[in-house]
Amino acid sequence: MAVNIDVSPLREFAHSFAGATAADWMWQVGVAATALVLGWYAARVFTREVKPSPRWQFGEGDFERVAYPLLVWAFMEIGKLILQRFQPVALLQILVTLLIAWVIIRLAVYVLGHVLPQGGFLRAAIRVVAWVAWIGVLLHLTGLLPEARAAFDDIGITVGKTRITLLLVLQAIAALALTLTLAAWISRVTESRVLAAESVEMSTRVVITKLVRVATMFLAVLVALPLVGIDVTALSIFGGALGVGLGFGLQKIASNYVSGFIVLLDRSLRIGDLITVDGRKGNVMAIASRYTVIKGSDGTESIIPNEKLITESVNHHTFTDTKAAVPMGVSVSYGSDVERALALMLDAARAHKRVIAEPAPVARVKQLNESGIDLELVCWISDPAVGDADLKSDIFRALMVSFREAGIEFPFPRRDVRLLATGETKESPFNSAS
């Protein structure tokens, strides 16, 4: 049931206007001006002296834009409480109401800018908050707020034993928007704080942020539904239907989400690891709830469902040790000095800045081929995430120069062709006079 209470500052302002003196208005204007000046000065001093760490950032932009109207409102309320003991303060009541709307708008801009991504949706949300705030102020000042509530409550339909009114719908939208925004804000602040904790492993930090996000959103819905008169126990029917849906059509999606949390909790994968899965090799760039993103050396980003990381084999190149071996094959002709070639290969590997000294590079004869001798150079690097294409190119170019200077030849396929005499030629063409 709506409670009709007429609290119209404009009507009180009009009633007080007849009996108020010029001194009364001057005192109210003076209090308002003093509140504006003190609020501006206090906001400047506060934001200059208090510089919060980025990990505690809970809004977008400079907090002074919120602190200024908030402090003006506080100073004006103090002045109004003192002045109303001696004279009417209708003007200050109107100004306080306008300041409340101003604070709400500035606070919404500050918080929503931190929660929502920059774009059209953020601008639309800020415009909605501004319109609602100023319309609410206008209805309050004119004394039409109780009548507007009653009018919205009269518009509705009856579904079974429940009457759904326009007022109930608006309250539900407002409650959901407020609670979800608060949940997203708490999640975002917690995420920035947890991710900045370098003493905790990255995978654990990611798990904590995801759990906080899910928990805050779930609590937001549970808080918002009772605010609009919806029985939370009715969600048990929806939960049963959701369980049946997961058992049939959504089991793959549920499996990916569960696998994502398993991957994060058992610490088998971390951001920056070099892995090969499903024929794709790359660095782990992100571990989301449903998928994992790996980026190859060519810049291609592959989205791998988390279920594959649990049910299939994963080649982890940096699981316990970040060092990786880089094998390179070279062939020389049978007439070349093999020992000299092996020594030059080791020199080329040791001269490269990415090749580490321990384990030491190794050069060996791999195979005796029909065209030449296959040699193999194995060197170790400590930064496999950078890739090995440039490393191989540098060493091969150095070997081409050093082999040429040492007279070591690279083999190429050779074929001997013999032409045999037939019944028509009588003899081989190589034996005939030219």
Which tens digit of pLDDT belongs to each residue from 262-318?
A: 777 777 787 878 888 888 888 888 887 788 888 887 778 888 888 888 888 888 877
Q: Are 375 and 329 in contact (CB under 8 A)?
A: yes
Q: Is residue 274 domain-shared with residue 329, that is, in the same domain?
A: no
Does the structure show a pLDDT above 70 at 432? Answer: no
- pLDDT computed for residue 6 by the predictor: 46
Q: Is residue 314 domain-shared with residue 360, that is, in the same domain?
A: no
pLDDT tens digits, 82-102? 888 887 777 788 888 888 888
**Lowest pLDDT segment from 64-73, 144-153, 201-210, 230-239:** 230-239
Does the structure show a pLDDT above 80 at 127? Answer: yes
Percent composition of the chain: helix, strand, coil (DSSP 3-state, to 5): 60, 15, 30
For residue 167, is it within any domain? no
- Domain limits at 22? 9-154
Q: Is residue 43 domain-shared with residue 16, that is, in the same domain?
A: yes
DSSP letter at 367 equals E
- pLDDT computed for residue 302 by the predictor: 86
- pLDDT computed for residue 2 by the predictor: 41
In the predicted model, what is the mean pLDDT of residues 60-82? 80
Q: Is residue 334 domain-shared with residue 294, that is, in the same domain?
A: no
Most confident of 121-130, 179-188, 260-269, 361-370: 361-370
- pLDDT computed for residue 425 by the predictor: 59
| Residue where a domain stops, chosen among 320, 343, 366 | 320
| Residue where a domain stops, chosen among 133, 154, 175 | 154
Between strands 274-277 and 315-316, the pairing is antiparallel
- pLDDT computed for residue 234 by the predictor: 57
Q: Is residue 335 domain-shared with residue 394, that is, in the same domain?
A: yes
Q: Is residue 302 domain-shared with residue 382, that is, in the same domain?
A: no
Of residues 359 and 320, which shows the higher confidence score? 359
400: CATH? 3.30.70.100
DSSP-derived 3-state class of residue 388: coil
- pLDDT computed for residue 80 by the predictor: 84
For residue 14, is it within any domain? yes
For residue 196, is it within any domain? no
For residue 307, is it within any domain? yes
Rounded CA-CA distance 190/14 in Å is: 49
Q: Is residue 309 domain-shared with residue 329, that is, in the same domain?
A: no
Count up the domains in the chain and report the number. Answer: 3
Q: Is residue 297 domain-shared with residue 330, that is, in the same domain?
A: no
Q: Is residue 347 domain-shared with residue 281, that is, in the same domain?
A: no
For residue 182, is it within any domain? no
Percent of the chain with pLDDT over 90: 8
Q: Are 288 and 343 in contact (CB under 8 A)?
A: no
- pLDDT computed for residue 3 by the predictor: 41
In the predicted model, what is the mean pLDDT of residues 170-186? 79
For residue 55, is it within any domain? yes
- pLDDT computed for residue 378 by the predictor: 92
For residue 419, is it within any domain? no
DSSP letter at 4 equals -
Q: Is residue 282 domain-shared with residue 390, that is, in the same domain?
A: no
Does the structure show a pLDDT above 80 at 55? Answer: no
In the predicted model, what is the mean pLDDT of residues 105-119? 76
**Lowest pLDDT segment from 72-86, 194-208, 293-307, 395-409:** 194-208
Residue 247 identity:
G
Q: How far from the centroid of its chain's Cα atoms is residue 216's Cα? A: 17
For residue 388, is it within any domain? yes
Q: Is residue 53 domain-shared with residue 130, that is, in the same domain?
A: yes
Q: Is residue 130 domain-shared with residue 23, that is, in the same domain?
A: yes
In the predicted model, what is the mean pLDDT of residues 203-226? 74
| Residue where a domain stops, chosen among 154, 177, 202 | 154
- pLDDT computed for residue 1 by the predictor: 39
Does the structure show a pLDDT above 70 at 249? Answer: no
State the chain's mean pLDDT as an integer: 77
Which pLDDT band holds residue 22 (cuts at 50, 70, 90)? confident
